[in-house]
Amino acid sequence: MTLIEITKIILAILLLLISFLAVNEKKIIKSVIYLSALSMLTVVSFVLMRAPDAAVTEAVIGSGLVTSLFIFTLLSVNKEEKK
């Protein structure tokens, strides 16, 4: 087994683990952060699978924009609940 194959297996296990944590986390903000980490790992796996186009798009949208929109929504919902 070469180094890249070992990396791929570790990556796959981490992806499964982090998606499980994202589903089962009680606090929503932590779940959003796990989702962001998941899409960052997906970027690495896209690069290893030689799909740089998909990797660039996933890096910008998955871990950048979508996470920030989730966090803004959570913050504004928390603010409304406090009133």
Partner 1 sequence: MKKTLAFIVVIVLSLLIILELNNNDLFPKFGDVDLTQRVSYRYVTKNLDFPVIFGETQNPESGPANIITSIIVDYRSFDTLGEVSVLFISSFGVAFLLGSGHIVKRLDLNLKPNFMLRVGAKPLFAIILMTGVYITLHGHLTPGGGFPGGAMIASSILLLYLADQQFRAKIKGFKLLESISGTLYVAIGLIGLIFANYFLRNFLPTGTVGNLFSSGIIPIIYVLVGLKVGSEISGIVDSFLTTEEPI
Min separation Cβ 57 and partner 1, Å: 5
Min separation Cβ 58 and partner 1, Å: 9
What is the residue whose two structure tokens read 């030689």?
A: 50
> How many Å separate Cα 77 from the centre of its chain?
22
Using the contact rule CB under 8 A, the part of the chain among 6-14, 26-34, 37-45, 60-68 near partner 1 is: 60-68
Choice from 32, 39, 73, 83 touching partner 1 (CB under 8 A)? 73
User: CA 37, CA 73: separation in Å to the nearest integer?
Assistant: 19
**Helix/strand/coil percentages in the chain, nearest 5:** 90, 0, 10
User: CA 16, CA 10: separation in Å to the nearest integer?
Assistant: 10
> Rule CB under 8 A: is residue 35 a binding residue for partner 1?
no
Give contact residues for partner 1 (rule: CB under 8 A). 52-53, 55-57, 59-61, 64-65, 68-69, 72-73, 75-76, 79
